[in-house]
């Protein structure tokens, strides 16, 4: 068992604690394997009635996946990247289909891979520290780990907006949009965990009793603008709508989109739109694996990681450099099903 994951039992609960604080608990292949192993062990154990997922010390729940490793692999044969995605998506699916209730504590940074292990949980707890985002378009990637499923099920066109811009949401936003089921003050989390461990059959009542009003969700103030400006069929039309609007908020979104990978934005928009009609979460993950397998070996991902994470010059040179340069044919190629012997399947 990797020390990056602490798995233990407490009273009638199984506990999974992310323990890689220097990387804000970003997931690597070994962590995904350890979590899958723990879930499998508890699945048929009658002594375990619920599972709690949280993080050890540090300022975030989970900042994502092991991006440097994925980029390094993607620049070569992509084998290690595909192995990571295969296992990570099996973990996402195992959480989504788990028969016992899962409680995820999204206290602090919850991005990318952190979204993937919290959103499948029946109970998702946000706090005043929660910073939720799917910022992948900024590094040439897309909101994977089930992002196409979760974002497409948000009201109106919030899914398109969050996927394209990488907008950061706080705890109040998450509660208002249903990304969190409860909002608790961070100081009450230990009490909540202790009470749940003592009585896992009363999770909802425990969290309800400890919940508080998070206040007004700022994202709701922009809801009408989001639904109006992110509704168009194509990325080109969305950009045109923002440019034509001329208001301050629209201009800010236009400036944000100008920094993102054109290819990644088109992939993300297509993913959210397809996600609305995906028959099952398993089908969603199968498609996301095919897309991820291809995207990590395309130039924009390596360039995005270089610009944002390695050199930190924040001056990526995207290929193609314009959204018009990303053809429908390229998107069709990226989304094509994999050969049967290569495609993803649940654990």
Name 126's bridge partners: 106, 183
Q: What DSSP designation does 267 have?
A: H
CA distance 262 to 13: 45
| The one catalytic residue among 136, 284, 288, 303 | 136
| The one catalytic residue among 60, 64, 65, 112 | 65
CB neighbour list of residue 255: distance below 8 Å, 6 or more residues apart: none
Q: What DSSP designation does 308 have?
A: I
Q: Is 136 a catalytic residue?
A: yes
Q: Token pair of 183, please?
A: 């909002």
| The one catalytic residue among 74, 113, 140, 147 | 113
Q: How far, CA to CA in Å, does 314 sit from each of 64, 127, 211, 259, 282?
A: 19, 30, 39, 9, 35
Q: Is 245 a catalytic residue?
A: no
Alpha carbon 340 to its chain's center: 26
Q: What DSSP designation does 339 have?
A: P
Q: Is 144 a catalytic residue?
A: yes
| Residues 71/305, Cβ–Cβ less than 8 Å | yes
| The one catalytic residue among 144, 160, 195, 284 | 144
Q: Is 77 a catalytic residue?
A: no
Catalytic center residues: 65, 113, 136, 144
């Amino acid at each position: 068992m990797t020390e990056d994951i602490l798995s233990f039992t407490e009273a009638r609960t199984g506990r999974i604690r992310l323990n890689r604080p220097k990387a804000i608990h970003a997931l690597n292949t070994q962590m995904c394997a350890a979590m899958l192993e723990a879930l499998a062990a508890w699945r048929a154990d009658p002594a375990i009635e619920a599972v709690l997922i949280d993080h050890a010390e540090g300022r975030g729940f989970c900042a994502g996946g092991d991006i440097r490793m994925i980029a390094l692999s993607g620049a070569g044969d992509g084998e290690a990247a595909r192995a990571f995605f295969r296992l990570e998506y099996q973990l996402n699916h195992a959480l989504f289909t788990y028969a016992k209730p899962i409680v995820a504590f999204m206290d602090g940074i919850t991005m990318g891979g952190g979204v993937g292990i919290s959103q499948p949980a029946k109970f998702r707890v946000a706090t005043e520290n929660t910073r939720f985002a799917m910022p992948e378009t900024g590094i040439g990637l897309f909101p994977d780990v089930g992002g196409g499923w979760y974002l497409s099920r948000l009201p109106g066109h919030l899914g398109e907006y969050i996927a394209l811009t990488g907008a950061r949401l706080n705890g109040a936003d998450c509660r208002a949009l249903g990304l969190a089921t409860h909002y608790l003050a961070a100081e009450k989390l230990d009490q909540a965990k202790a009470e749940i461990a003592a009585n896992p059959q009363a999770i909802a009542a425990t969290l309800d009793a400890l919940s508080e009003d998070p206040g007004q969700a700022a994202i709701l103030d922009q809801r009408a603008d989001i639904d109006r400006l992110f509704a168009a069929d194509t990325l080109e039309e969305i950009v045109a709508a923002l440019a034509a609007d001329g208001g301050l908020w629209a201009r800010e979104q236009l400036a944000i989109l100008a920094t993102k990978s054109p290819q990644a934005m088109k992939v993300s928009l297509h993913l959210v739109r397809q996600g609305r009609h995906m028959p099952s979460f398993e089908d969603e993950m199968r498609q996301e694996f095919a897309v991820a397998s291809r995207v990590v070996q395309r130039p924009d991902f390596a360039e995005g990681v270089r610009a944002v994470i390695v050199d930190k010059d924040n001056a990526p040179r995207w290929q193609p450099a314009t959204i018009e340069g990303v053809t429908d044919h390229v998107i069709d190629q990226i989304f094509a099903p994999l050969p049967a012997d290569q495609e993803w399947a649940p654990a």
